[in-house]
Structure formats: C-alpha cells, structure tokens
Amino acid sequence: MSLLTVGSVAFDAIETPFGKTDKIIGGAGSYIALASSFFTDNQKLVSVVGEDFPQEFLDLLKSRNIDLEGLQIKKGEKTFFWSGKYHNDMNTRDTLITELNVLEHFDPIIPESYQDVDYLMLGNLSPQVQSTVIERLKKRPKFIAMDTMNFWMDIALADLKKTISMVDILIINDEEARQLSKEYSLVKAYKVIREMGPEFLIIKKGEHGALLFHEDKVFFAPALPLEDVFDPTGAGDTFAGGFIGYLASTDDISFENMKRAIINGSALASFCCEKFGTERLLEVTQGDLDQRISEFVTLTNFDLVQTIK
Amino acid sequence: MSLLTVGSVAFDAIETPFGKTDKIIGGAGSYIALASSFFTDNQKLVSVVGEDFPQEFLDLLKSRNIDLEGLQIKKGEKTFFWSGKYHNDMNTRDTLITELNVLEHFDPIIPESYQDVDYLMLGNLSPQVQSTVIERLKKRPKFIAMDTMNFWMDIALADLKKTISMVDILIINDEEARQLSKEYSLVKAYKVIREMGPEFLIIKKGEHGALLFHEDKVFFAPALPLEDVFDPTGAGDTFAGGFIGYLASTDDISFENMKRAIINGSALASFCCEKFGTERLLEVTQGDLDQRISEFVTLTNFDLVQTIK
C-alpha cells in the first residue's frame, strides 16, 4: 500500500559527550522516510528544503524509491536548521540554534499523483500544517499516524487538539503524554487521549521501550539495552518510520500486526543511536535488521513451562 | 529446597498523594518472606524486632510456614521504624524519620537448625551484617542473592564490595547500579559489577521493568502498566522475595528459570503497589497471581509470523 510521509528535511548540528558534528542531514521527514524505506517501495514525501540542500541526499531518497514530487525546493531560501547539545546522561538536551527558514511559511502542497494514498504519517510539524495535509487529501487515508511535541502543546494547543481528533494513532513520548493528558499514570493518559480522537496510542519511553494502547489492550516493547547511546537524534522518528512503513507494506492494522511494526521500528531506532545522524541507518542491511529483531525476541522471550506451585 | 531470608521486620508510616498511614508493618524481611511464601513452604527468617512488635504478624508469618526460630525479640527495646513521604510522581520520596532501635546493634544469630540452607536471600541491611550471615553458615548455600541501597555505597563502600564479592546475584535499582559501577549505561554497569563477583545482576527500573544480566545474555521484563501506583513501598522487596522464592521452590538456577522467577516476582510486586504496605499482598490468592502472570504474557507477547519484506 502507498505511504505518504510529511515531515521536515533539514540540517542538524549535534554535540554529544562522544563528539560533535558540522551541519549534517536531519529532520523528522528524513528519518521517517529512510526508516519506512526498509519496508515499502511505495512512499511519497511532502516536505520543503532551501536551495542550499544537497542534491546528493535527495538522490539517495530517490534511490530508495521515495517519490519526491511533493518536496518543494525554495529558490533563494535556506533549509531548516537545528543545533543541540546532549547532556551527559543523553536523556536531556539543550537546543542551541533553531533557524526555521523554509519551514516558517511552509505550505504543504499535495501533488495530484499523491491523492489516494493509503497510509499517512505526519511527522512532528506545526499542527496546522498537519491538519492542512489531511484536509487536502480528497479521500481520507485508511490509516493516519501523527507525531508531535510539547512545544505545540505550549503554543498551539487548540490547533493540536483539532489535528489529534483527525488521526488514528498518536505517537509521542511519556513526558508529552503526561503534559497532553494532565495525568501522570500512562494508563490514565491513554484514556484521556483516546477521548481526543485516536483509537491507538504509542508512548515512547526511550531506553525504557514503548507502550501501545488500544481499547483495553496494552503491549510493552522493550528497547534494546545499548552499551553506548552515541546520538539519540532521530531515534523517535526512525521508530515511527519503521512502524508506519511496516504497517503500510503489510497493510494490516490489527493490534497483533502493530506489535510486529513496533518491534521493527524499535530495532531500526536502536541502530539510529549508534552513530551521528542518519549515518548508521544508511549502512544497515536487511541481514542486520533481521539479526537485531532476533535480539529483541531473545531479550523478551520467556516460557512459563515450569508451573508455579 | 530451603530458603533463608535475612532482612528487617519493622514499622513504617507512609504518606502518598492518596493518603497516609499510622505505624504499619514494613521492612524488607517482611515483604521478602511474604512474597517467597507464595512459592516455598520451607523458609527460615533471621531478623530482629522489639518488644513492641505485634505477635499477630509473627503468627501470620508462621501460618505461611516461615520458621521464626532466627527472629530475635529484644525485651525492652523498640522495633526499627521508618517514615517517608512520596512526591506526586511516586518515583521519589523523602525520609521523614528513621529510628534504628533494635537494628542498631543487630547481631544475626543463625540457629543450628538453619545450617545447610540451600538458598539465601540477603535483604537490604548493613553489608557487614550481610557478610556475617554468610560467614556463619558452615556450608555455603547453593545460591546467594543480595539487595542493597545507595546509602551503603555512600558510607560503607569497602564493606559493601566485600559482601558483593561473596554473592551470586545482586538485585539493585538503576540508580544504584549507576552509582556502584560509575557507568551510566546499564550494559556497562553490569560489566563492572560482574568484575566485583556476582555472576548475575538484576537491575530494577520500577515502572520500567527489570533487566537480568548473565554473561553475554540479557532479559528484559516489563512492569505491568498500572492505573495508579498507590504505595510503592516494599515493591522491590516483594519482587526479590518472589524471585528467590520461585528459584528455591523450583531449585533451578538456569537463566531460563530466572526469567520465570522474574515474571513471578514482577507480578507479586505489581500487587504490592495497589494498597498501603503489605495489605494487598496478604489478600492475593494463587488465582490472582496466575491471572496477573497471564497479563504479563499478554503484555509482552508478540509473534513475528508475517515475514518482513
């Protein structure tokens, strides 16, 4: 089935306790598209970059069968740029620079050839841009997934709630779920967020894994314990991309299949943390991914064969 | 197989956002013994209480086949008392009162009938008391498990390292593992702690579950997502008690069986959080426990039946 990904394609500059980068490729759209491309060769991208963006990376996306007709290249403008520095625990970071550039007035134009997409993944962007994409699709996709962040809860909560009401699954982290629901318990947070519209909720907990909620069901996927988290930038987007790419390629939105999608997304996200930016993701082979998934199985598998007294 | 549990039997007074208690029964030894008693009826306790401790609770322990010959009742002295207040997130707490009382000069006397125990669980106590117990057993138990806390890392690190070198498994939380190993990554923390002696390490992560490490193997057990954590006091001890009780009753210290032991311990710990102190644990039936364990299976079970593209 076809997948439409909407998200930023951008430059990042990252500093971690392990080192720092110059401007490298980043953006939610980049990570999602790369991750999805492990599963689907029927992906379309809506995004915007400036004239300064390297053709080389766009060619790379094309080589992974990502349709770029909906990627706007703005003459005379600059690409979105974010710079951040991670603290020693790698769980918190400071934003050093945010240059919106082309994102400031981003109007997500949907090419005619993108109409009739089956799956839609809305990467973290202004909720107004996200809802515009849904409204511009003449036929509602079969399944709409959405990421967001606390920034939009702070400055655009009404817009955000409107967009949330239009999607099937929200994919956010634990801190965001708590802020959005005003509940500390993640079980209660799901109940509040379900009332906002989405039937499914994924709560990402970084090194502690992820939870999938649907009706009265919950699934807990671990994160692979890593010796070093070299650079977590993009891990959440990679997770989301692997998740939606897997769903679109299997065209099965049952709870059971979503579990598989989460395991696949988690496996890809674990690679993402091993090097700066998209570097590690670009090296990963299908064999690497299969091997990593088998590590997830080993990590969580137990057998209650000995009966309890 | 026989199990010897060493740990405090005490009074707690607890305040949480949900309410507060007067003096109720607490102490690592109480929680461990109660949890173990779900699996083994061959358990012996070494501990100490004052004259003020209620016979009723001792009778309850006896009714669960816990041998109290090694429980010292100090005439004219008072039982250990701890009082604490949990913050709104239930993950952090302030100690309001600590009265060591009988614990201040606790000399763990091992009755002759306790010699030849097969499994030993050392609840959180001074590492000097813990190592004394091991030294006073004429035959080393088949398997020794040990809990501790950051307090001993701060004030008695040399004693603590000596005791750690004598045990088979250390059961601590993530913060303690990081402090003890001076490594943030839990994978690296295990490598450091393994060099201190224990072949196995369990790292408890509270609401995020627990990790079991052995050689190059790792197992991740989730915690059941709870709507409310009413009172987490004793959950870690309950987990440890369920774990060691399961191992002792099955007499199988393979990695595979330890996974089962962790699932059983986690299930019991999830009950512990539902009411104040030991209250909920005392209500739990075998049927409740079986039901809760089946929820753990549902929570983590996935099937990679659809092959990835």
| pLDDT, tens only, B29-60 | 999 999 999 999 999 999 999 999 999 999 99
Question: Cβ contacts of residue B218 below 8 Å, gap of 6+?
Answer: A225, A299, B187, B190, B211, B212
Asked if A299's CB is within 8 angstroms of B185's CB, the reply is: no
Comparing CA positions, the residue from A247, A171, A216, A256 lying closest to residue B301 is A256
Domains of chain B, CATH where assigned: 3-8+28-77+110-300 (3.40.1190.20)
Question: What's the pLDDT at A309?
Answer: 44
3-state secondary structure at position B299? helix
Between A227 and A139, residue with greater pLDDT = A139
Find out whether A83 and A12 touch, Cβ atoms under 8 Å: yes
Interface-testing mutation among B302, B303, B305, B306, with chain A (most A C-beta atoms within 10 A): B302
Question: What's the pLDDT at A228?
Answer: 84
Residues of A in contact with B263 (CB under 8 A): 302, 304
pLDDT in tens, A93-137: 899 999 999 999 999 999 999 999 999 999 999 999 999 999 999
How many CB pairs lie under 8 A apart between chains A and B? 120
* Model confidence band, residue B96 (pLDDT cutoffs 50, 70, 90): very high
* Model confidence band, residue A18 (pLDDT cutoffs 50, 70, 90): confident
pLDDT of residue B16 exceeding 60, the answer is yes
3-state secondary structure at position A46? strand
| Average pLDDT along chain A | 95
Beta pairing class for B24-26 and B10-16: antiparallel
pLDDT of residue A26 exceeding 80, the answer is yes
Q: Which two tokens stand for residue B141?
A: 């138990």
- CA of B194: how far to CAs of A91, B200, B215, B258, in Å? 26, 7, 9, 17
3-state secondary structure at position A20? strand
Query: Which residue, chain included where needed, has tokens 């989405």?
Result: A198
DSSP letter at B220 equals E
Question: What's the pLDDT at A89?
Answer: 75
Which amino acid does the sequence have at A98? T
Other Cβ atoms closer than 10 A to A183: 17
| Of A211, A302, A304, Cβ closest to residue B225 | A211
Question: What's the pLDDT at B17?
Answer: 87
Torsion of the alpha carbons at A90, A95, A97 and A103, rounded to the nearest 10 = 100
Residues of A in contact with B246 (CB under 8 A): 308
Chain centroid to Cα A164, Å, comes to: 16
Asked if B89's CB is within 8 angstroms of A184's CB, the reply is: yes
Give me the phi and psi of A90, to 5 degrees please. 65, 5
Asked if A225's CB is within 8 angstroms of B187's CB, the reply is: yes
Question: What's the pLDDT at B133?
Answer: 98
Search chain A and give the residue with CA nearest B242: A308
Beta pairing class for A66-74 and A43-50: parallel
Between A308 and B96, residue with greater pLDDT = B96
pLDDT in tens, B242-252: 999 999 999 99
| Of B225, B229, B252, Cβ closest to residue A218 | B225
Interface-testing mutation among B38, B89, B208, B249, with chain A (most A C-beta atoms within 10 A): B208
How far off is chain B from A5, nearest CA to CA, in Å?
19
Query: Which residue, chain included where needed, has tokens 């990627």?
Result: A71
Query: Which residue, chain included where needed, has tokens 């967020």?
Result: A193
Which amino acid does the sequence have at B146? M
Q: How much of chain B exceeds pLDDT 90, in percent?
A: 91
Poorest-pLDDT segment among B137-141, B221-225, B289-293? B221-225
Question: What's the pLDDT at A306?
Answer: 58
pLDDT of residue A92 exceeding 90, the answer is no
pTM: 0.92
Residues of B in contact with A39 (CB under 8 A): 308-309
Between B304 and A163, residue with greater pLDDT = A163
Search chain B and give the residue with CA nearest A255: B302
pLDDT of residue B309 exceeding 50, the answer is no
pLDDT in tens, A206-263: 989 999 999 999 999 999 998 888 899 999 999 999 999 999 999 999 999 999 999 9
DSSP letter at A19 equals E
pLDDT of residue B308 exceeding 60, the answer is no
**How many Cα atoms occupy the beta-carbon half-sphere of B223 within 13 Å?**
25
* Model confidence band, residue A145 (pLDDT cutoffs 50, 70, 90): very high
Search chain A and give the residue with CA nearest B87: A184
Question: What's the pLDDT at B306?
Answer: 58
Search chain A and give the residue with CA nearest B251: A306
3-state secondary structure at position A82? strand
